[in-house]
Structure 1
Amino acid sequence: MALPWLVADVGGTNARFGWVVSPARGVEHVRRFPVAGSAGPAEAVRAYLAGLPADVAAAPRRAAIAVATAVRGDRVELTNSPWAFSCAELQTDLGLASLQVLNDFEALALSLPRLRPTQWRAHGAAPVAAGTLAVIGPGTGLGVGGVVQTEAGWVALPGEGGHATLAPSDDLESEVLRHARGQWPHVSAERLLSGIGLPLLHTCVAQAEGRAPEALSAEQVVERGVAGDAACARTLDVFCALLGGFAGNVALTLGARAVFIGGGIVPRLGDRFFTSPFRARFEAKGRFSDYLAAVPTALITDTLAALAGAAFAIEQRHG
């Protein structure tokens, strides 16, 4: 299997790296680097390898890198990051026998069948790893992915569902989207349900309710909302409601038997997420409400799960 392997999960803000000396042992020596701190993935990989313990071989044979963008061909340009690179050149530069570059939510989806109960928190009934599973993740951007169980194993469904048009479900959300469209002609789900979108959502919720908006960062909206600030808490409620409606759409579209929520934003909401309108709005699909009531949802609490999915991608191809 040409070990060891290097695995990476590269988002708009951070790049996480891990090391695999045996699939049975899983991902080890995980480190995180700010994307802005390196000119590209080759430099970040070298910084990671330089920091490995002295008794660890610093020459990976294979690598799988999950990136927050669509992967189509040799040239890769991240959506919310300045990194851009050639897959062939990166493989040669790092001296790899093989390099797989996959969408970050393709990797996260591949982690779902092997997630342990200690890595997620159910929102109601516990999910079961069978059939089709979906994952949605508000982070810097908004990722969407799926994985299907087949006779040949688990097959990932990469996509860019976060850029699908966001739909309102009540009058307030219609007003919120009307104000958002005043700035952007196309309001995707990512435009409001992400780290880059939360400041805009906060402004538009205030405008829709006739209040003067306060310019805040995504971090400030989350921190103040969780702490009890009324305006920010209102934004988080709308965020969770919109996310629930969007997650229900994904479940219906894929025929998912369970939907997982990943990304870095929702775990920071703590119990507020589980008392929010998320689940009610997930099920609020008219004649298919009973259908969705039987579909479990769960929050992924392990922020490094995508690294395990990247390792699984190598294992599937070469194992």
Structure 2
Amino acid sequence: MQLLRKFGLSLNVSSEIISEDTFYLLSISKLKGRGKAFLHSISQDRTTFKHKVINELEKDLLLSKNAINEALDDCAIAETSQHRIVSILDTEFPTSLKFTHDSPAILYCNGNVELLKHKCIAIIGTREPTEHGVEITNRVSKWFSNNGWCIVSGLAKGIDTEAHRACISVNGKTIAVFGTHLNKTYPAENKNLAHEIVDKNGLIISEYGYQSKGYRSAFVERDRIQAGLSMATFLVQTDIKGGSLHASKAALKYGRRLIVINPTPKDIANKEPKIEGNLKIINSSDIEKSNYLNTIKGSLERITILKNKDQYFEIDAHCKNDLDSLIESSAKKESTMALF
């Protein structure tokens, strides 16, 4: 690599771990002030990409050498851990994420990277579900797994855990999105589940490098990836201010479907606090819903209230059509970008 020779360094990892262009992008990402928007911007034109990278790195050689060394450290850890690092410059990068305005530019991957291109739905909800919440999660996860969908969730306690486990139980495909780096499982009690996901040909992804420190907003950012990967986000149960609302809002922002589970009569009669968010979406006026979900009125058309399993087939068909439209739209954008 000409870039590394310039700094007296070498990349001693397999190209199967990271592509050359992604390594360039990873190096730039280690420079202070180069966020996702900047990384997307310099990646728009492949013919000028490396020139732009070198220009950035030549602005401060000492800082750039440190950044490259950090990128090399990530690559070494990825190789030791048998992970992969993919970016928006790679064919493996998910089409569903590539053109969302705040998508990660780089993903650290543990497991079956091919799932990044698979059709996905997200199943999310409270860490403290009711008994009926667990039953519904299992039912939805198994049905959509058996019908060819990859189940996306965040490996959190409660609904996330139940969704991953239900999917695995029917030999389905599942992706867990971490709010930490790949070598730090959170919560720690789900470490065995994380191993099982990978062992069963699933995938764990994160946008955070191995040296990154944890912070609360990372889980909000994690939620947007779940929504962005998926054609629909199923909100099983949430309280009024539940964290699951972040992914729900992101789904609508990205033009995806939000499937809100209608609580069971028993949970309603028991006044369960973990269904209050669902009920607010179901029972509110359009103005109240728009404010609650921080979206425009037109986006409310993409909300479906799931009342029974007979609706699965209709949701499945809508999501397939949405995926076809997304692939077609992305192909047109790629063609347009190639002209300039």
TM range (shorter): under 0.3
Higher helix share: 2
Which is bigger in relative contact order (C-alpha 8 A, separation at least 6)? 1
Higher strand share: 1
Q: Give the TM-score normalised by the residue count of structure 1.
A: 0.26
